[in-house]
Structure 1
Amino acid sequence: MTKDETQSAPATGVVVIPALNEERAIRAVAEAALRVCAKVIVVDDGSSDGTSAAVAGLAVELIRHTAPQGKAMALRDGFRRALELGADGVLTMDGDGQHAAADLPRLLAAAGKYPNHVVIGARLLGRDAQPDKNRFGNAQADFWVSWACGQRIVDSQSGQRYYPRAAIDIALALPHDGFVFESEILIECAAHGIRTVSVPIKASYEEERRASHFKPVRDVVRITRMIAGRLLRGGLMLGNLRRSRKVAPIVVDMPAM
């Protein structure tokens, strides 16, 4: 274990939940997050349903966009507010109920073991339940993101993460929107020496849940275009490609708290 993989104090964080038309699931998601973290921010990205009303009465901080601005802007606004609340790190999870809040302490435990790392809740447990088109799109994105990072990344498209303060500062300066934003965070963090570690989680893919906002073809094309530009500007970064294929990813199965 290297010196940057130990930390005397446990990591802490504020939970940020971006949500767009999640009235069916968001209350249960927010309630579960509150059971493991005292500070929860829900960002309603201009929903046309009752997403905001669904969290009424809960001890969450609600940020509401008057019109949809995209997941990237929802995350940015949540990040900024979390910093105003004094957060030294931010936990994120999607508002559709795909992620279990009970896994957030496991991400925090990994953050404590690997300080100055982004921690991804990697959907490795029960992966066969993931829709085939999503699994294919995620695999393609993982290849390109790993190349640009110079490190093999497991589940680069998962929205359940822990970002240390340094990663949040980097994220707030990035230009892209949509799912490109979450991929670019990992790449830009890697360029600044902030690596990524993954914690296996199980995601829920219930049939009644609304369709994923992630569109495998459209979003992977956008992610690939962004990464291709970075690779071309960097002279293809063939050393990064070799490392991403030869060096095993950092996957740590932290116990439930």
Structure 2
Amino acid sequence: MEILEKNRIILIPAYEPDSRLISYVKELNGHGLHDIVIVNDGSGESHKNIFGTLKEMGCVVLTHKYNQGKGMALKTGYHYIHDTYPDYACIITADADGQHAAEDVFRMANEAVKNPDSLILGERNFKQSGIPAKSLMGNRLTSTIFALFFGRYLPDTQTGLRAFGPMLTELMWGILGERFEYETRVLIYCIRSKVPIVPVEIQTIYENENRGTHFHPIKDSFKIISVITSDFMKFISTSILCAAIDIGLAWLLFDLLRRFLPGADFLRIMTATAAARVVSIGVNYFLNKNLVFCNEHTGTNSLFRYLALCALNMVLSALSVYLLHTYLRMDEKAAKIICDVILFLFNYQLQSRWVFAIRGLNHEP
């Protein structure tokens, strides 16, 4: 077996681990993986002996005084590795509950070295027998919803076995999230910033119905779903707000302009409508950039892309309503509602992937 160099760093966040973690470290050592950083995420005095043994085995043990969550434990490890190992080739994150076979960690390290600009995902095979029903349901649900909103089906969005090179380390610790939802935010950020995601099939290990894990398949899966859908819910909110601004301002201007444009109703209505639309578009652009997609790295042309999308929407809306009304004899008002709902979903996807996509980042450490 090829022995990996020592600058492949294994990072294990651990909260109240049992003796399996000690056995797991021995297995990793047997595969030539000796640089192991373990973050004790506030496990308390009752687990002091386990972490003491891990230190004696050569592991670096970092300690949080209180439990801060898996996301924060990973970020603590990323900062330490970045500052301590200047020549590391990659970081491989693994769970402390024995779900990830040492040979799979070894394979992930090799893949990360081959693909230094990519996120390597260890994907479990949920088609095999013996998978706990709650885990299967939670993974399938989150994977399906993730694909619906981000256009990429990842069979295992909740996998903790991941690897990446130093080019991505600063990106990883800059992503929001403190607990299990952090790993979902990483996937979202990588897709939006066009970081390649490389899947590697790994063994599916559930010991004792996976009772040792601190991940709650139902409760935590719904938390993850809320992360996946949060941008869309904010998108709906800003759209409703801007529609109210558009209508309210138009109504206000209809009355205010009467004194300046007496008898010129068409010009008055067009002026009021155009002014209201300009204001609502400006507010919507600002809110979507800074609140919905929260991206400072959209490039210099995001406003022009946004305006182009607005123009495209107007053309598609008018054309679709005309075609439905003319050839299917559909009521114009009903056709307008159907077309605009479809365009609303289309609009969200294009704004996420094109208008406000993450651009121009340099991930060099």
Q: Is the counterpart of residue 79 in structure 1 residue 75 in structure 2?
A: no
My pick for the range that moved more, 120-129 or 87-96, is: 120-129
1:64 match: 63
State how 1:57-136 maps to structure 2 within 5 Å.
57-84=56-83, 85-86=85-86, 87-124=88-125, 127-136=128-137
Q: 1:203 to 1:42 in 2, by over 3 A?
A: same
Unaligned runs of 5+ in 2: 236-291, 294-346, 354-365
What is the identity, as a one-letter code, of the residue corresponding to 1:203? Answer: T
Distance 1:69 1:217, change over 3 A: same
Distance change in 2, residues 1:106/1:81 (3 Å)? same
1:175 CA displacement: 2.0
Alpha carbons 2:8, 2:89 under 8 Å: kept: yes
More helix by share: 2
Structure 1 unmatched runs, 5+: 1-9, 242-257
In structure 2, the partner of 1:221 is 222
Structure number with higher relative contact order (C-alpha < 8 Å, ≥ 6 residues apart):
1
CA distance in 1, matches of 2:180, 2:99: 16
Pair member with larger Rg:
2
- Structure 2 CA distance for aligned equivalents of residues 145 and 167 of structure 1: 22
Residue number in structure 1 paired with 2:201: 200
* Aligned 8 A contact 1:149 1:186 in 2: no
* Mapping of residues 1-257 of structure 1, within 5 Å: 13-35=8-30, 36-48=32-44, 49-50=46-47, 51-84=50-83, 85-86=85-86, 87-124=88-125, 127-207=128-208, 210-231=211-232, 232=235, 233=292, 235-237=347-349
Point out the structure with the larger strand share.
Answer: 1
Amino acid at match of 2:36: V
Count of equivalent residues: 231
Q: Which amino acid aligns with 1:69?
A: Q
Change (3 A) 1:164 1:190: farther
- Rounded Cα–Cα distance in structure 1 between residues aligned with 2:173 and 2:148: 23
Runs of 4+ residues deviating >4 angstroms: 238-241
Cα separation, partners in 2 of 1:137 and 1:28, compared to 1, 3 Å? same
Distance of 1:224 and 1:236 partners within structure 2:
17
Distance 1:73 1:122, change over 3 A: same
Q: C-alpha distance in 1, partners of 2:229/2:136?
A: 21
Secondary structure of the corresponding residue to residue 15 of structure 1: strand
SS of the equivalent of 1:237 reads helix
Q: Can you list the C-alpha shifts for 1:10-49, whole angstroms capped at 9, x where unaligned?
A: 9x63100111111221111222223332311011111133
Higher deviation after alignment, 141-150 or 159-168: 141-150
CA contact (8 A) 1:72 1:178 kept: yes
Matched residue type, 1:82: I
Residues 21 and 54 of structure 1: CA distance in aligned 2, closer, same or farther (over 3 Å) = farther
Q: Give the Å deviation of 1:134.
A: 0.6
Q: Deviations over 1:209-228 (max 9, x none)?
A: 64322212221222122221
Paired with 1:182 and 1:194, the residues of 2 have a C-alpha distance of: 15
Separation (CA, whole Å) in 1 of partners of 2:18 and 2:128: 26
Please say which of residues 228-237 and 37-46 is displaced more in the overlay.
228-237
Q: What secondary structure sits across from 1:91 in the alignment?
A: strand
Q: Could you tell me whether the CA contact under 8 Å between 2:116 and 2:164 is conserved in 1?
A: no
> What TM-score, normalized to structure 1?
0.80
Letter in 1 for 2:33: C
Counterparts of 1:209 and 1:153, CA distance in 2: 21
Partners in 2 of 1:135 and 1:60 — Cα distance?
Answer: 33
Shift of 1:109: 2.9
Secondary structure, aligned partner of 1:55: helix
